[in-house]
Structure 1
Amino acid sequence: MSPKRAGLGLYAALAASVIIFGAIAYVLFLNFFPGTGGPAVETGNRLKIPAVLHDYDPSPDSALYEIVVEKGKTAFIDGKEADTLGYNGTYLGPVIRLRRGETVEMNVANELTEFTTVHWHGLIVDGEDDGGPHHGIQPGERWAPVFTVDQGAATLWYHPHLMGNTSDQVYYGLAGLVYIDDEVSDSLGLPDEYGVDDIPLIVQDRSFRSDGSLDYRVNMMGVIPGDTLLVNGGIGQFFDVTTERLRIRILNGSNSENFTFSMSDGSIFHMIASDGGLLEEPYGTDGITLSPGERAEIVADFSGKAGKTVNLLAGNRNVLELRAASDIRDNGAVPERLVEIEEMGSPTGLKVRYFELQSMGISGAINGKTFDMERIDEKVRLNEPEVWIVTNPPGMMQSGGHPFHVHGVQFRILSRDGKLPGPAERGYKDTVFVNTGEEVRILIRFSKVGVFMYHCHILEHEDNGMMGQILVE
């Protein structure tokens, strides 16, 4: 028997044990903890628009940001307060607005009573500035990474990335958005008035107990899907649309759930950007699916809809009520061409690496190995493109699809099961969903040095070992 097959056999045996004991633990959990209070119902609330983080550096070529990780109390339902976590506030965090070419210092203070990290998801920085599990911030301590923004306009995000407890900290509120602006995006005439015709949506599923507290529960297959949608930390919200075109930046900020977004009237909107930035041309569609960690920017057209209301949906659940004013103004058309995406060259003849995603219940592994902080799984050469083949083999014990995320890089999808990617996946990506039985090929090139993670972005899988490490040198 080959060492690889022996390792996989051992993994299967261990994972089977995890399922048995997980099932027992889950029954005990349900017996000893109060049940959920059911879906939270709130209506008529104006959309919460996150603040934009203040830049303390007056220079146009540099920026200094202060971030405090803190505990808080947040009233989600009927004024009942829940224990939450936040960045510079009680739940979620402000938008951090960066610009290509500037030098940035992030001064992060941990005022929690527990260990945390801050990972810049999608940002291309050296490994020492990435905020993975090696860059922990102890209670009462600070972390101050400095980096230069070296990528085009995009919508990214930030969240904890400590080993074993990322899922809890994100569930209770630690997440926020990062915008990158550049001259190219400035010149396109896209909607860009923050909070007016350019709005952010962090979409999360959560459950609540009858006392209004967050009800985070995990069974042997992972987190129990939330019965209530939060958008920017609010429930049952509306937004007053005052322009013919509305740019919506969507993050699937859930721990484990995929969301398919559409308009209640079935109308077409245009997707203009994916994880890593603008697409080459807008993609007209009536729906897009995002797995945990993925982002999309869309432009919805409200011309001819003055005085009407359209709901943005996730499946059959309401995300946001969009109320068009009786007198909406023309704010320009979406260009037919957006950007020219730099090619990495032909994938022919490149080094090929294989990544097999394996999971049983809440536990997981990649290539038969669970995460080890002291082990480097792959060594990659700086600036040398490679082809990665990511598979999610079918099996009775597999726990579904996996969003595969790579730190410190933006890659291109070459194919899904031998077919070219669809229009929504032709731009830069840092997270790709790999369904059961699928093979996804990506073209990847690292431009920064250091140790980076690759992992499943179902946070409970990540916490339970479905992660590996790359050394780029």
Structure 2
Amino acid sequence: MKSKLLIASLLVGAIIMGGCSAGNSESNNNSNMDHSTMSSMDHSNMSDEEMKNMEGMDNKDNSMENGHASHNNPLALNNSTGENELALPPIIEPKNGIVDITAQQGTTEILKGTKTETYGYNGSFLGPVIRIHKDQTVTFRTKNALSEPTTFHWHGLEIPGNGDGGPHQVLEPGVTEDVNFTVNQGASTLWFHPHPEGATAEQVYKGLAGLIYIDDENSQKINLPNEYGVNDFPLVFQDRQFTEEKQLNYQAVLNEDGTIGDTLLINGTVNPKLTVGKEKIRLRLLNGSNARNYTFKLNNGATFQQIATDGGFLNQPTDMKEITLTPGERAEVIVDFSKMDDKTDIALINEEGITLLPFKIEQKAASTSNIAQKLNDFGVTEEEKTLPVTKKLELFGMGTMVSINGSQFDMNRIDFTQKQGDTEIWEIYNKPDMMGGMTHPFHIHGTQFKIVSIDGKEPPLNLKGWKDTVSVEAGQTVKLAVKFNNKGIYMFHCHVLEHEENGMMGQVEVK
């Protein structure tokens, strides 16, 4: 029986793991390419049996048991019953220029009547919203109160490499370290999470994640909803799978190609609802899951407006019917509840029609002011459009055998170099293999980049903004204009956390 389960798991695993692929035979044809030490490897001619054997080397025998039949048809989420009001993280701001942030462990009553062992920042589960301002000089005073090493990675923040919190900057238990920097980017919704080599996925799964809001003069002038908890709400989406004991046992549910759960938590709240007024409401969406993609829409088919991407505002509000975010991506949207019937059930749903977040509309004083039609002055320059590609990244593999340009992550190897302040064009190609492939969220530390093209075409309007994580579908080629304003060593990787940990990550040194 055990052998039958193993064979079944390997067969399903081969289907699941088939997406982490890329390759481009042209990568050696440009003498200006920065290949550094990354080698080229073509796995596309592997047989089915070889593909299965790759996955079977190290993969846990649980892909069948946990229902992870496919990332294109993932384990279904529960419908939110709306019985619990959405929890809101506390806001903390610098005091005398210092923000204290402690990674700690504890217990949290996520499911009624049970204490679940969890991790959190400044609390037992998840973390606060850190609010800072452009041009402000701040110190993040980080402390590790866990019983294991961790790091503090500031996802989307332009920061010197020695403060970025990648796997180089490990804090041992009991250690406190100051991260000093000046905020040099515009208004945006960023986030922070751990990034220790080999433990990122599990630490995030247990609860280490928080938000960073950057404000600037522009954001205070463009008449956006900005009253926290009244018309401006953070929404951190994460899926989890609880054991029979209602615990978060990551090792029991680990899937080497991306761990997916059936229970949705928003801001750590199970079965949430959000009470809003009949006014324009700003929702700051973060996909904080290990691997699941989310497509968000309203159940009544209403249009909403996207106003921001990962790293800042779009040039103008953009009408949308739905928006998809892969792990690590953010978006800000405006929903106009003043036009909706408060007696009608309104909810945020996913592409399968699963109710993610029901809204309760109250008849209370509403702001009816109009949002500015000009939010930003963002654009890809003509020069950036004509720059040659100098870095090509070829993703390939499955499960524990993922790679970039044929190599797995090595902390002692610098894969690319780039000069501080120079803009280069990075080309990311997700080559489908015999199993069809899957979408990869590609993230670069320490910078906000511009999407120049997707398969040779301009990106859609809602992607014409600053990004630090970009969704690359199987078979797609994405070109990015990348500039680093600080020096240091930065990671680039797939933000499916299990892919990152299994080696789909590299390093660029900015000099």
Give 1:93's match in structure 2, choosing from 124, 127, 130. Answer: 127
Q: CA deviation at 1:393?
A: 0.6
Asked if residue 64 in structure 1 is aligned to residue 98 in structure 2, the reply is: yes
Instruction: Please state how far the C-alpha of 1:314 moved relative to its aligned partner.
Output: 2.6
In structure 1, the residue matched to 2:474 is 436
Deviates more, 1:147-156 or 1:360-369: 360-369
Q: 1:235 aligns with which of 232, 257, 270?
A: 270
- Counterpart of 2:56 (choices 2, 20, 33) is 20
CA drift at 1:10:
12
- Checking the alignment, whether the CA contact within 8 Å between 1:42 and 1:77 is kept in structure 2 is no
Asked whether the 8 Å contact 2:193–2:208 carries over to 1, the reply is: yes
1:268: Cα distance to partner? 0.4
Q: Could you give the per-residue CA deviations for residues 33-78 of structure 1, whole angstroms, max 9, x where no partner exists?
A: xxx9x95976421110100124321xxxxx2111111111111212
Question: Would you say the 8 A contact 2:280–2:337 is kept in 1?
Answer: yes
Structure 2, gaps ≥5 residues long: 1-24, 29-36, 67-74
Change (3 A) 1:21 1:286: same
Match of 2:423 in 1: 385
What secondary structure does 2:324 align onto? strand
Q: Distance in 1 between matches of 2:217 and 2:137?
A: 16
Cα 1:343/1:84, change in 2 over 3 Å = same
Q: Which aligned pairs between 1:212-361 and structure 2 lie closer than 5 A? A: 212-216=246-250, 217-218=252-253, 222-305=257-340, 307-308=342-343, 309-315=345-351, 316-341=353-378, 343=380, 346-347=383-384, 348-350=386-388, 352-361=390-399
Q: 1:50 aligns with which of 72, 75, 89?
A: 89
CA distance 1:275–1:6, change in 2 (3 Å)? closer
* Aligned AA (1:266): G
1:238–1:5 distance in 2 versus 1, CA, 3 Å: closer
2:200 counterpart of 1:166: yes
Looking at structure 1, the residues matched to 397 and 229 of structure 2 have their Cα atoms a distance apart, in angstroms, of 40
Aligned to 2:161: 127
Deviation at 1:144, TM superposition (A): 1.0
Say if 1:243 and 1:331, in contact at 8 Å, map to a contact too.
no
Paired amino acid for 1:248: L
Q: How has the CA–CA distance of structure 1 residues 302 and 220 changed in structure 2, closer, same or farther, with 3 Å as cutoff? A: closer
Q: Secondary structure at 2:431's aligned position in 1?
A: coil
Equivalent position to 2:461, from 401, 405, 423: 423
Question: Does 1:404 find its partner at 2:438?
Answer: no
Q: Deviations over 1:333-363 (max 9, x none)?
A: 2221111126555122445210011121343
**Contact 2:240–2:260, Cα closer than 8 Å, also in 1:** yes
Letter matched to residue 471 of structure 2:
F
SS in 1 for 2:245: coil
User: Which deviations, in whole Å up to 9, do the C-alpha atoms of 1:393-442 show, x marking residues without a partner?
Assistant: 11125751110000111111111111110111100100001111111111
Q: Which amino acid is the alignment partner of residue 298 of structure 2?
A: M
Does structure 1 conserve the Cα–Cα contact (< 8 Å) formed by 2:94 and 2:132?
Answer: no
TM-score in terms of structure 1 length: 0.92
Helix, strand or coil: the match of 1:192?
coil
Other structure's SS at 1:323 match: strand
In the alignment of these two chains, the number of paired residues is 462
Q: State the 1:28 CA deviation.
A: 11
Query: CA distance change for structure 1 residues 390 and 28 in 2, over 3 Å: closer, same or farther?
Result: closer
User: CA 1:336–1:464 in structure 2 vs 1: closer, same or farther (change >3 Å)?
Assistant: same
Taking the TM superposition and a 5 Å limit, the aligned residue runs for 1:179-198 are 179-198=213-232
Question: Unmatched 5+ residue regions in structure 1?
Answer: 31-35, 58-62
Instruction: Say if 1:360 and 1:398, in contact at 8 Å, map to a contact too.
Output: no
What is the root-mean-square deviation in Å for CA atoms of aligned residues? 2.5
Q: 1:109-163 CA deviation, whole Å, 9 max, x = no partner?
A: 1011101001000000110110100001001111211000000000000000111
CA 1:151 to 1:243, structure 2 compared with 1: closer, same or farther past 3 Å?
Answer: farther
> Is this contact kept in 1: 2:300–2:346, CA < 8 A?
yes
Q: In the alignment, which residue of structure 1 is the partner of 2:116? A: 82
* Alignment CA distance shift 1:276-1:470 (3 Å): same
Instruction: Name 1:146's counterpart in structure 2.
Output: 180
Distance change (3 Å), C-alpha of 1:160 and 1:115:
same
The 1:109/1:224 distance shift into structure 2, 3 A limit, reads closer
| Structure 1 residue 204 displacement after superposition | 0.6
Q: Name the stretch that deviates more: 300-309 or 434-443.
A: 300-309
Contact 1:306 1:327 in 2 (8 A): no
Q: Distance in 1 between matches of 2:120 and 2:364?
A: 37
How far off its partner does 1:209 sit? Answer: 1.8
Partner SS, residue 260 of structure 1: strand
Of 392-401 and 368-377, deviating more is 392-401
Q: Secondary structure of 2:218's match?
A: helix
Pick the aligned partner of 1:450 from 472, 480, 488.
488
Q: CA deviation at 1:18?
A: 3.5
Deviations 1:70-108 (A, max 9, x none): 111111212211111000111100000010000110111
How far 1:11 moved relative to its partner?
A: 12
Q: State whether residues 278 and 340 of structure 2, in contact with CA within 8 Å, keep that contact through their aligned partners in structure 1.
A: no
Q: Is the 8 A contact 1:455 1:462 kept in 2?
A: yes
SS in 1 for 2:162: helix
TM-superposition CA deviations, 1:3-48 (whole Å, max 9, x none) = 9887445997997544123457448988xxxxx9x95976421110
The farther-off stretch of 211-220 and 286-295 is 211-220
Name the CA distance, whole Å, in 2 between partners of 1:319 and 1:56.
36
CA distance in 1: counterparts of 2:93 and 2:220, whole angstroms? 21
Q: 2:403 aligns with which of 365, 378, 386?
A: 365
CA contact (8 A) 1:41 1:77 kept: no
Distance 1:305 1:89, change over 3 A: same
- Aligned to 1:169, the other structure's residue is in SS state helix
- Aligned-partner SS, 1:303: helix
Alpha-carbon distance in structure 2 between the residues aligned to 1:376 and 1:123: 21
**Amino acid aligned to 1:253:** G
Q: Find the partner of 1:156 among 187, 190, 193.
A: 190
Match of 2:143 in 1: 109
Report the alpha carbon displacement of residue 447 of structure 1 after superposing the two structures with TM. 1.0
